Structures are given as structure tokens and as C-alpha cells.
């Protein structure tokens, strides 16, 4: 693995442990007993990153936000990877009408603007729990994975060792599961890692415009949304979630690109 890849992996692991451990060591994320005197406090020993307009501890909200944002991203890429590889494998391995129909479905999914679809759905259903938001992101993100897996399936189906399996009399399902699917995993891993960055940004964007994770639930996007109103008098409110976002997306991208270089040296 390249040095940037190791940095990315270390950063991602650090952020993940922050999401797990942070809420345990942080102060309560809810409003302090004295909201008037406790608001807009600068960083101190009691509040490591200060407090916000409602006297809530920013470090605590950042930690809970990490939990929510990273969990949503993880659910989103898991759903996209599962649905995408199932559809991609089916599309790549079935010939004739089924294969062509599935390819049309994938192309249709790719053609739909993801953000618009999400806006419409979220506007229609209103507030939804974060895990469900992750599922929704995954259900709009699978076509890109499916296109990739379909291509890999088509490529691997030409491999002589796949011919050998057919010649031995292996049923098509066995060939698909034992010889073709494992071959798609490197590409899937790369796409999924890069997809984490996408999902984090998408969730933050949706939460920022108020349709994703909605206040008072903390997510990095909704924290930026709330901090925006106090940009002039308390800029540190904005700083913390923004830095977290940049770190998380950069880490996933660095790791993904590094994995691509070592697992798929023939691409790019």
C-alpha cells in the first residue's frame, strides 16, 4: 500500500474510533442547565471545542455526529455494494433478453440525477431515522456499482479458467459464485471505499439543506447548517464539522485510490 493509502487508512480508523469512543468520553451533547451563560463558549477544559448557540458541547455533538454520519455512509455503501453486485452479476452473466433488460435498468438508474431523486423522496416522507437515510442513499447509489460489477463480470467470463470450469461441467451458478464473483471483489472494494467519501458528502449536503439528518440530531451536515447563522460571532462552530468532513472524505479517497493502484494496476 502506498504512503497516502496508509495515511488514509489510519485517518479512517481514527475517525471510526472517534465515532465509537468519542460519545463515551464527551460531555452531554444536550443543552447545558444554564443556556444563557453557557452559549457560545470558547474552547476550554470543560468544553474542548466550546459550546454552540444552545450551550451544547461541540466536541460531544461532533462525536455523536461522527457516529451518525459515518454509520449512514457505511449503511449506504453496504446497501449499494450488495444491490449493485447482485444486479451487476446478473446483468453480466445473463445473455439475451434478461441481460439486456438489466443493463437498461442500470443505465436508467445512472441517468437519474441522484440528488434530485433524494430531495423528492425526502421531501415526501419527511423526517426519517438516520439508518433509513443510509438505506435510501444506498438504494440511489447502486447503479454505479452495478455498472462496474457488470463490466468485471463480462471481462472475467472470458478468462480461460472460466472456460475450464464450464468444460468440467460446473453449473452456471457455481461458476458465477466460485470463479467470477471473487474476481470482482477487488474492483468492488475500491469502488466501495471511494463510495464512502461520496456518501459522507451527500449526507452532509442533504443535512445542510435540511432534508437529511434534521436538527436537533447532530450530523456533520446539520451542524454546519446550524452554525451558518452564527458565522460572524462564533466561527469555531463551523470549523469543527468542516474539518471532520474534509478529513473523512480525504481519508476515504486516499485509501480508495491507493487500493485501486495496488489491486487494479491496469486501470488508469
Cα 126–chain centre separation: 21
Is residue 57 near other proteins by the rule CB under 8 A?
Answer: no
Cell 479517497 sits on residue: 253
**8 Å CB contact between 189 and 259:** yes
How many residues form the binding site for other proteins (CB under 8 A)? 17
Applying CB under 8 A, which of residues 72, 165, 204, 237 lies at the interface with other proteins? 165
Judged by beta carbon, residue 96 or residue 126, the one nearer other proteins is: 96
Choose, by CB under 8 A, the member of 45, 111, 167, 173 that binds other proteins. Answer: 167
Q: Which stretch binds other proteins (CB under 8 A): 123-131, 137-145, 155-163, 259-267?
A: 155-163
Nearer to other proteins, 100 or 178 (CB): 178
- Read off the DSSP letter of residue 108: H
Cell matching residue 76: 449506504
By CB under 8 A, residue 99 contacts other proteins? no
The reply to whether 98 sits near other proteins by the rule CB under 8 A is no
HEC states along 122-188? HHHHCCCCHHHHHHHHHHHHHHHHHHHHHHHHHHHCCCHHHHHHHHCCCCHHHHHHHHHHHHHHHHH
Give the integer Cα–Cα distance in Å for 98 and 96.
6
Choice from 24, 97, 168, 232 touching other proteins (CB under 8 A): 168
Q: With binding defined as CB under 8 A, does residue 182 bind other proteins?
A: yes
**Is 45 among the residues that bind other proteins (CB under 8 A)?**
no
Q: What is residue 57's three-state secondary structure?
A: strand
Among the listed ranges 14-22, 121-129, 153-161, 205-213, the one in contact with other proteins (CB under 8 A) is 153-161
Closer residue to other proteins (CB): 7 or 170: 170
100 interacts with other proteins by CB under 8 A: no
**In this chain, which of 35, 129, 131, 171 binds other proteins, going by CB under 8 A?**
171
| Contact pattern for other proteins over residues 20 through 39, marking x by CB under 8 A | --------------------
Cell 451518525, residue? 68
Is residue 164 a contact residue for other proteins (CB under 8 A)?
yes
Closest to other proteins by CB, 127 vs 174, is 174
Asked if 160 is part of the footprint of other proteins (rule: CB under 8 A), the reply reads yes
Burial-class residue 228 by CB neighbours within 10 Å (0-12, 13-18, 19+): exposed
Residue 4 in contact with residue 261, Cβ under 8 Å? no
Residue 167 CB, nearest approach to other proteins (Å) = 5
CB-based contact 221:206 (threshold 8 Å): yes
Binding site for other proteins (CB under 8 A): 159-161, 163-171, 174, 178-179, 182-183
Amino acid at each position: 500500500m502506498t504512503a497516502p493509502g496508509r495515511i488514509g487508512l489510519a485517518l479512517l480508523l481514527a475517525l471510526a474510533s472517534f465515532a465509537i469512543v468519542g460519545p463515551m468520553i464527551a460531555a452531554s451533547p444536550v443543552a447545558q442547565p444554564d443556556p444563557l451563560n453557557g452559549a457560545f463558549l470558547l474552547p476550554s477544559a470543560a468544553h474542548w471545542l466550546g459550546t454552540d448557540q444552545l450551550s451544547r458541547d461541540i466536541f460531544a455533538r461532533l462525536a455523536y455526529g461522527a457516529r451518525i454520519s459515518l454509520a449512514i455512509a457505511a449503511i449506504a455503501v453496504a446497501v449499494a455494494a450488495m444491490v449493485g453486485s447482485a444486479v451487476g452479476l446478473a446483468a453480466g452473466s445473463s445473455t439475451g433478453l434478461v441481460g439486456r433488460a438489466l443493463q437498461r435498468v442500470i443505465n436508467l438508474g445512472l441517468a437519474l440525477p441522484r440528488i434530485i431523486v433524494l430531495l423528492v423522496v425526502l421531501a415526501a416522507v419527511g423526517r426519517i431515522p438516520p439508518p433509513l437515510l443510509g438505506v435510501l442513499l444506498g438504494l440511489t447509489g447502486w447503479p454505479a456499482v452495478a455498472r462496474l460489477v457488470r463490466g468485471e463480470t463480462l471481462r472475467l467470463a472470458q478468462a480461460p479458467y472460466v472456460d475450464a470450469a464450464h468444460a468440467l461441467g460446473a453449473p452456471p451458478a457455481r461458476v458465477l459464485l466460485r470463479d467470477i464473483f471473487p474476481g470482482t471483489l477487488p474492483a468492488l472494494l475500491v469502488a466501495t471505499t471511494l463510495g464512502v467519501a461520496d456518501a459522507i458528502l451527500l449526507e452532509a449536503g442533504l443535512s445542510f439543506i435540511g432534508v437529511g439528518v434534521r436538527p436537533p440530531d447532530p450530523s456533520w451536515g446539520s451542524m454546519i447548517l446550524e452554525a451558518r447563522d452564527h458565522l460572524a460571532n462564533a466561527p469555531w462552530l463551523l470549523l469543527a464539522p468542516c474539518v471532520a468532513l474534509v478529513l473523512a472524505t480525504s481519508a476515504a479517497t486516499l485509501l480508495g485510490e491507493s487500493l485501486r493502484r495496488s489491486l487494479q494496476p491496469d486501470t488508469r
